[in-house]
Chains A and B, each alone.
Chain A
Amino acid sequence: MDINATFIGQIIVFLILLWFIYKVVTPMLAGPIGERQKRITDGLAAAEKGQKDLEEARGRVDALVRESRERARSVEDQAARRATELVEAAKQNAQAEGARIVETARVEVGNEAQRVRDALAREAGTLVVKAASQLLGREVDAKAHAQLLDQLANDIARG
């Protein structure tokens, strides 16, 4: 282990190599590596942000779907209620109409019955007059007894 001038040469070689690596090589490595690491970090941050955004959006979608479902259900309920109401109203209308028709028919039937009764009374009066004239043996003067006959007919009609 002899120390001699060799170490001076070794120091010079070392310093030159160190200078070259410090000034040339490491900047060439540090720059791109740092840039790449920055990009990776940014990318990871962006991915995380995207993930968070996605989660948020998912939450919003869930809320929207829930709300829509609720609204649909309420619309459905409303429609069902409205339909029931409509049916109910139609039923009432129909009943009223039916009642009205029946009432009209009843009035008409009453009128008709009255008319028939009047006709029958007149017929009966005529028959009575005919029968009476035959019984009396002479013709009843319709004109002379018109008042009597009318009263008769009315009596019959009245029953």
Chain B
Amino acid sequence: MSAEATQSPSEYISHHLTHWTVGHGFWSWHVDTLLMSSGLAVILALALYAAARRVSANNAPTGFASFIEFIYDWVDGQVGDIYHGNRSFLTALAFTLFTWVVCMNAMDLLPVDLPGNVAKVFGADHFRVLPTADLNGTIAMAIVVLLLVIGNSIRAKGLGGYAHEWIAAPFGPALFPANIVLNLVELLAKPVSLGMRLYGNMYAGELLFMLIALLGFALASGLSALSGTLFVAEILIGAGWAIFHILIVLLQAYIFMVLPIVYISMAEEHH
């Protein structure tokens, strides 16, 4: 906070809510989001590969491999509860979503100013460390889920059957305009709510960390009874929120894992 002491609180917040952006208009890129998500994806892939290599049928799993195996087994069980069929792809999808989203969400637990200050060393003015607090990050996953829902519907019902459902369900072919509108809303509501839910939760969590960090600003104007109390309050509230946030990190990742599986298995049902 001392580094930002020259900023006003509103400047501090808006600075922390600005992405490291390259380009203009639609063709601008959030470098921080892309860096963090792909970097975490690489680390995650390597870690999973290293763990999976040590899993064998002959020995009991140990250490990190056991941990990964436990998560895989749990995810597979969750998918198996929802989807009754060959679930190898859905398990991989759920496993990817859960582990990757947990990794990205967990970045929120880093101290608010640390990533920005590290990025400054490398010449970046802004750095938002949380890819899931960027709507682009969550909507991207939601769009892939949407495509999988559509693809799975077509695979299960055939192109004709799927098209027929658009026209004929739920009110019958005579009311096809209403059916199309309703189906469109139903189809789009899923990825939008999915992406917005994760984005909103993580964005709010991140913002709260920033607001808590503001409590320490008083210290910049000198040590007094008030500024000391606020500083202690910042540490206590920040720690409390961080501990509670662990729950949100895992819970939101869990929701983001389960809902796509529910959507995709629902897509196979005939209307």
Complex Cα–Cα for A115 and B29 (A): 159
Q: How far is the CB of B27 from chain A (nearest CB, A)?
A: 5
B143 and A7: CB pair below 8 A?
yes
The proximity string for B residues 33-45 relative to A, scoring 1 for CB distances below 8 Å and 0 otherwise, is: 1100110010011
Name the segment of B66-74, B116-124, B217-225, B261-269 touching the other chain. B66-74
Contact partner of B55 (CB less than 8 A), chosen from A14, A32, A39, is A32
Contact A29 B72 (CB under 8 A): yes
- Does B55 lie within 8 Å of A17, measured CB to CB? no
Contact residues of B between 99 and 151, Cβ < 8 Å to A? 100, 131, 134-137, 139-141, 143-144
Decide if A25 touches B48 in the complex (CB within 8 Å). yes
Report the minimal beta-carbon distance from B7 to chain A, rounded to whole angstroms.
23
Give Cα A3–Cα B55 distance, bound, in whole angstroms.
41
A35 contacts chain B at the CB level, 8 A cutoff: yes
Instruction: Tell me whether A15 and B41 are in contact (CB under 8 A).
Output: no
B1-49 CB contacts (< 8 Å) to partner A = 23, 25-30, 33-34, 37-38, 41, 44-45, 48-49
Stretch at the interface among B85-93, B162-170, B178-186, B234-242: B85-93
Assess the A10–B95 pair: CB atoms within 8 A. no
Residues of A within 8 A of B92 (CB): 18, 21-22, 25-26
Q: Does the CB pair B49–A29 fall under 8 Å? A: no
Beta-carbon contact of A33 and B72 below 8 Å: yes
- For the complex, would chain A's binding face be called helix, strand, loop or mixed by DSSP majority? helix
CA distance A4 to B92 in the complex (A): 28
Given A13-B37, A13-B38, A21-B92, CB of A1 within 8 Å of CB of B68 = no
A-side contacts of B227, CB under 8 Å? none
Asked if A66 is at the interface of the complex by the 8 Å CB criterion, the answer is: no
Residue A6 at the chain B interface, CB threshold 8 Å: yes
Evaluate contact between A29 and B144: CB separation under 8 angstroms: no
B78 at the interface (CB under 8 A from A): no
On whether the beta carbons of B136 and A10 are closer than 8 Å, the reply is: yes
Known interface pairs A13-B41, A26-B92, A33-B69. Does A6 touch B57 (Cβ–Cβ under 8 Å)?
A: no
* Interface residue? A28 (CB, 8 A): yes
A-B contacts counted at CB < 8 A amount to 122
Question: What class of interface size applies to chain A in its complex with B?
Answer: 20 to 34
Q: In the complex, which of the residues A1, A15, A25 contacts B135, with contact meaning CB atoms closer than 8 Å? A: A1
Asked if B53 lies at the interface with its beta carbon under 8 angstroms from chain A, I say yes
Q: Say whether, besides A6-B33, A10-B34, A17 and B100 are in contact (CB < 8 Å).
A: yes
Q: Does A16 contact B (CB under 8 A)?
A: yes
**CA distance in complex: A17, B42 (Å):** 8
- Report the minimum CB–CB distance from B70 to chain A (whole Å): 10
A26 pairs with B95, CB closer than 8 A: yes
B68/A9 in contact, CB under 8 A: no
Nearest residue, chain B, Cβ from A31 = B57
Tell me whether A26 and B88 are in contact in the complex, defined as CB-CB below 8 angstroms, given that A13-B37, A13-B38, A18-B93 are known contacts. yes
Residue pairs across A and B with Cβ atoms less than 8 A apart, 15 shown, are A4-B23, A5-B27, A6-B34, A6-B134, A7-B139, A9-B29, A10-B33, A13-B140, A14-B144, A17-B44, A18-B96, A18-B144, A21-B96, A26-B72, A30-B76
A5-B23, A6-B134, A21-B45 known; 16 new pairs, CB 8 Å cut-off, are: A1-B135, A5-B27, A6-B136, A10-B139, A10-B140, A13-B140, A14-B141, A18-B96, A21-B92, A22-B96, A25-B92, A25-B95, A28-B49, A30-B88, A33-B69, A33-B72
Interface residue ranges, B against A (CB under 8 Å) = 23, 25-30, 33-34, 37-38, 41, 44-45, 48-49, 52-53, 55-57, 68-69, 72-73, 76, 88-89, 91-93, 95-96, 100, 131, 134-137, 139-141, 143-144, 199
9 closest A-B pairs by beta carbon, nearest first, are A10-B140, A35-B57, A22-B92, A28-B52, A6-B136, A7-B136, A32-B57, A6-B30, A7-B140
Binding site for B on A (CB under 8 A): 1-11, 13-18, 20-22, 24-26, 28-33, 35-36, 39
